[in-house]
Amino acid sequence: MSSTLKGITLKGSAELVAEFFSFGINSILYQRGIYPPETFTRVTQYDMSLYLTTDAKLKNYLTNVVSQLKEWLFDCTVQKLVVVITCLETNEVLERWQFDIECDKTAKQSSGPREKSIKAIQEEIRSVIRQITATVTFLPLLETACAFDLLIYTDKDLQVPEKWEESGPQMIADSEEVRLRSFTTTIHKVNSMVAYKRTDSM
């Protein structure tokens, strides 16, 4: 968390955004039923109850990715984070939860804190997560066994770390897109949206 209650620094912003992604990804995985609901536990965050996984492997994976993401957020080299949900039977991409991250690169030079309270940011984050929860009402049901992957769009000149590799954008062939709310820490702005495969019934 940021050291002061009134302002926010680059480091604090990166941590806040990374925390949001951790909870957001967990929420998506719970809401979309990628992992069985009994492997999740309730926690209270942002003044609302959220679900966090208890699956050790998944936990390990998420902490790995989120810590790396935090670094990149601090470096302002990350552009997008995408949660790709793939059908295991057909290897078809069914859903893409895309979080566009706009970094204010000037924050790297000027280290002074920005004028925005954490409370206000958390309020925005809460509304985004609420919306993620609400999307279940219109997203098509995932009837087959699915798995998820996290793609990170970064600047071209970034050195790919060990254990990471380049990937494709994993686009959906015939998709419908819905824009969700966004939030900003004044240093990082996160626009969220979901794209899903258009089904015949729709």
Partner 1 sequence: MDGLDDDTTVFTTLKSFKSFISQPDTSQHLAETSMTKSDLQRQYIHRIELEDAAAKIHSQTHLLQMAQEKKQMELSHKRARIELEKAAHSSARDFEREVDRNQDLLTRIKKLEEREAETAQVLNEQTEMNKALRKTMEGQNKKLEEKDSKISNTNEAICTLRDEIRELNHKIKNQEIQLATQATENESLQEQVEYQRRKYQEANQKYQSLQSSECLNSENELKIKELERRLALQEQDSVIVRNMRTELARVPEMERELKRLREENSYLRETKENSSLLKEESEGLRRKLERLEKIKEDMVNLELEKEKLAMKLQAWENLSQSTGLNIRKPEDLSREIIQIQQREIGLKQQNYSVTSSARALEKARTELQNELVQLRTKVLEEQKKREQQDALVRRLQKRVLLLTKERDGMRAILESYDTELAASEYSPQLTRRVREAEDMVQKTQAHNSEMEVQLSKAQEEAGSYKLQAQTAEMELDILKKQATNADNSAFVVGEEVSSLRQKIEELEAERGRLEEQNNVLEMRLERHNLQGDYDPLKTKVIHFRMNPTSLAKQERQDEVEKLREECRQLREHVRSLQAGGAVAAEEGTFNLPPSQEVLDLRRQMESAELKNQRLKEVFQKKIQEFRTVCYVLTGYQIDITTENQYRLTSVYAEHMEDSLLFKVGAV
Beta carbon of residue 148, minimum distance to partner 1 (angstroms, whole number): 6
**Residue whose tokens read 């206000």:** 120
Beta carbon of residue 57, minimum distance to partner 1 (angstroms, whole number): 8
Q: Which CB atom, from 55 or from 104, has the smaller least distance to partner 1?
A: 55
Q: Could you give the CA distance from residue 186 to residue 126 in angstroms, rounded to a whole number?
A: 17
On the CB side of 129, CA atoms within 13 Å amount to 26
Ramachandran angles phi, psi of 11, nearest 5°: -65, -45
Q: Which CB atom, from 92 or from 123, has the smaller least distance to partner 1?
A: 92
Q: Return the SS3 of 180.
A: strand
Q: Which CB atom, from 34 or from 118, has the smaller least distance to partner 1?
A: 34
Contact residues for partner 1 (CB under 8 A)?
57-58, 61, 64-65, 68, 79-80, 82, 84, 86, 88, 91, 96, 98, 100, 145, 147-156, 158, 160, 163-172, 175, 177, 179, 193, 195
DSSP 170: -
Q: Which CB atom, from 50 or from 66, has the smaller least distance to partner 1?
A: 66
Beta carbon of residue 144, minimum distance to partner 1 (angstroms, whole number): 12
Q: Any residues with CB less than 8 A from the CB of 164 and at least 6 apart, and which?
A: 68
Q: Could you give the CA distance from residue 132 to residue 27 in angstroms, rounded to a whole number?
A: 8
Q: Could you give the CA distance from residue 124 to residue 185 in angstroms, rounded to a whole number?
A: 9
Beta carbon of residue 45, minimum distance to partner 1 (angstroms, whole number): 23
Q: Which CB atom, from 141 or from 160, has the smaller least distance to partner 1?
A: 160
Beta carbon of residue 49, minimum distance to partner 1 (angstroms, whole number): 24
